[in-house]
């Protein structure tokens, strides 16, 4: 087992002392990087890239080399899970993901298997995890991830992205038992999938609940949070002699921070709709916080980006338990140089907040 040279991210996730605030960025391997676009073109397409462990490793490591990120995140897509459950998945050029044969009724849900063995259907992702760990050679930790059951269900029922989520909400309201059956199968499949990633080398895992925020408080608790908690309860929490931190991120869910922290996760991901000092006052004594710069700030001039980094660091203040990140993923047309300045600013400006604690 290669010794980890930079474990700032893992320590921050567990609210341990760090010399500076670690930083990584959602979608840090992506279209804003010319290097990524070249690798994707070499692969022939997005799903082809996801299915090539060597090319997955190449794009996963690009932000480590270019940005100096303190963590790598597996390059994949959340929708590989429903695909492995038997649903046809397509990515058209310039289009989002599509399921041509969406889930429409209970009979469709009953046909879906639970993925108890992730190597059956998702072996290529596990191979990618192992390949990335090998290629990282201990430089930084590797984060694995999956979509939340509710978020996966929205795509499976809608057949793709949606503006009003009418089909999935209609199923939730009219056939709650069907929706619960689907979410339960997804939760158990995701738990097995994440445990497979951990077994193959992921040193932390994040659950992306991209669409939890479209729900009411009541429905979020019943149809989203309960199933993320079901996953957390099944996860491997110790591996290779270290704790494996679990990060939960619900976009639009900042009203429910206390409930998210109660799931047993180690880190709560924040979007940009809350000031981090408010989040820290509410749950910072229980979990670490990840976030939360507005991704569109990366369109600003480098000096303004640095100002924003300073403001977020000052709001969090002295002490540990902060992983700097964006409040959502970086957008494709952000200038690469702005992303580099963002990372540089966090590295340089955060030291002062840890000197007293170190």
Distance CA 296, CA 329 (A): 10
- Give me the pLDDT at residue 358, please: 41
Beta strands at 238-239 and 242-243: parallel, antiparallel or unpaired: antiparallel
Any idea what DSSP says for residue 329?
A: P
- Give the pLDDT mean for 7-11: 98
- Asked if pLDDT for residue 213 goes beyond 50, the answer is yes
Distance CA 102, CA 37 (A): 30
* Burial (Cβ within 10 Å: 0-12, 13-18, ≥19) of residue 213: middle
- Give me the pLDDT at residue 146, please: 98
pLDDT, tens digit, for every residue of 39-62? 999 998 888 999 999 999 999 999
- Give me the pLDDT at residue 3, please: 87
- CB-hemisphere CA count at 13 Å for 267? 32
At 2, is the pLDDT very low, low, confident or very high (cuts 50, 70, 90)? confident
- Asked if pLDDT for residue 259 goes beyond 90, the answer is yes
Distance CA 345, CA 304 (A): 11
At 93, is the pLDDT very low, low, confident or very high (cuts 50, 70, 90)? low
* Complete DSSP assignment for 172-216: HHH-HHHHHHHHHHHHHHHHHHHHHHHHTT-SEEEEEETTGGGS-
What is the percent of the chain where pLDDT is above 70? 98
- Give me the pLDDT at residue 278, please: 98
- Give the pLDDT mean for 109-118: 97
Residue entry with tokens 């002392």: 17
How far is the CA of 268 from the CAs of 2, 151, 160, 249, in angstroms? 28, 17, 27, 6
- Give me the pLDDT at residue 1, please: 65
Q: Virtual CA dihedral for 137, 327, 232, 180, nearest 10 degrees?
A: -130
Q: Where are the alpha helices (DSSP H) in the chain?
A: 8-13, 34-43, 46-50, 53-67, 80-84, 106-111, 119-136, 149-158, 166-174, 176-199, 217-220, 226-232, 257-261, 276-283, 302-316, 336-349
Domains defined for the chain, CATH in brackets: 8-353 (3.20.20.210)
Report, as residue numbers or ranges, the catalytic residues.
27, 31, 40, 77, 155
- Give me the pLDDT at residue 95, please: 73
- Asked if pLDDT for residue 98 goes beyond 60, the answer is yes
Residue entry with tokens 């429903």: 82
At 164, is the pLDDT very low, low, confident or very high (cuts 50, 70, 90)? very high
Neighbours of 341 (CB within 10 A): 21
The mean predicted confidence, pLDDT, of the chain is: 96
- Give me the pLDDT at residue 45, please: 85
Distance CA 94, CA 234 (A): 37
Is the torsion defined by CA of 84, 88, 89, 91 positive or negative?
positive
């Amino acid at each position: 087992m290669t010794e980890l040279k930079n474990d700032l991210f893992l320590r921050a996730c567990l609210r341990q002392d760090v010399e500076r605030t670690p930083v990584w960025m959602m979608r840090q391997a992506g279209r804003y990087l010319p290097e990524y676009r070249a690798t994707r073109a070499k692969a022939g397409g997005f799903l082809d890239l996801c299915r090539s462990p060597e090319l997955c490793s190449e794009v996963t490591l690009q932000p480590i080399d270019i940005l100096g990120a303190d963590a790598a995140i597996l390059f994949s897509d959340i929708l590989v899970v429903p695909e492995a459950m038997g649903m046809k998945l397509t990515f058209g050029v310039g289009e989002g993901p599509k399921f041509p044969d969406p889930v429409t009724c209970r009979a469709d849900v009953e046909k879906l298997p639970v993925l108890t063995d992730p190597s059956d259907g998702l072996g290529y992702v596990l191979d990618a995890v192992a390949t990335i760990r090998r290629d990282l050679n201990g430089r930084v930790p590797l984060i694995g991830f999956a979509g939340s059951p509710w978020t996966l269900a929205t795509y499976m029922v809608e057949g793709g992205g949606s503006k009003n989520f009418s089909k999935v909400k209609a199923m939730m309201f009219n056939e709650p038992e069907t929706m619960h059956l689907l979410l339960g199968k997804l939760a158990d499949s995701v738990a097995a999938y994440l445990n497979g990633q951990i077994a193959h080398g992921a040193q932390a895992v994040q659950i992306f609940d991209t669409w939890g925020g479209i729900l009411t408080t009541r429905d979020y608790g019943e149809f989203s949070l309960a199933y993320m908690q079901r996953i957390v309860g099944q996860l491997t929490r110790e591996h290779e002699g270290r704790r494996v931190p679990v990060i939960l991120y619900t976009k639009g869910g900042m009203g429910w921070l206390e409930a998210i922290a109660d799931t047993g996760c180690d880190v709560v991901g924040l979007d940009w709709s809350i000031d981090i000092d408010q989040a820290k006052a509410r749950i910072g004594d229980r979990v670490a916080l990840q976030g939360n710069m507005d991704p569109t700030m990366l369109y600003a001039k480098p000096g303004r980006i640095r100002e924003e980094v300073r403001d977020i660091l000052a709001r969090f203040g002295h002490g540990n338990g902060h992983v700097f990140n964006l409040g959502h993923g970086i957008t494709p047309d952000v200038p690469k140089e702005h992303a580099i300045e963002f990372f540089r600013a966090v590295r340089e400006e955060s030291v002062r907040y840890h000197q007293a604690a170190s």
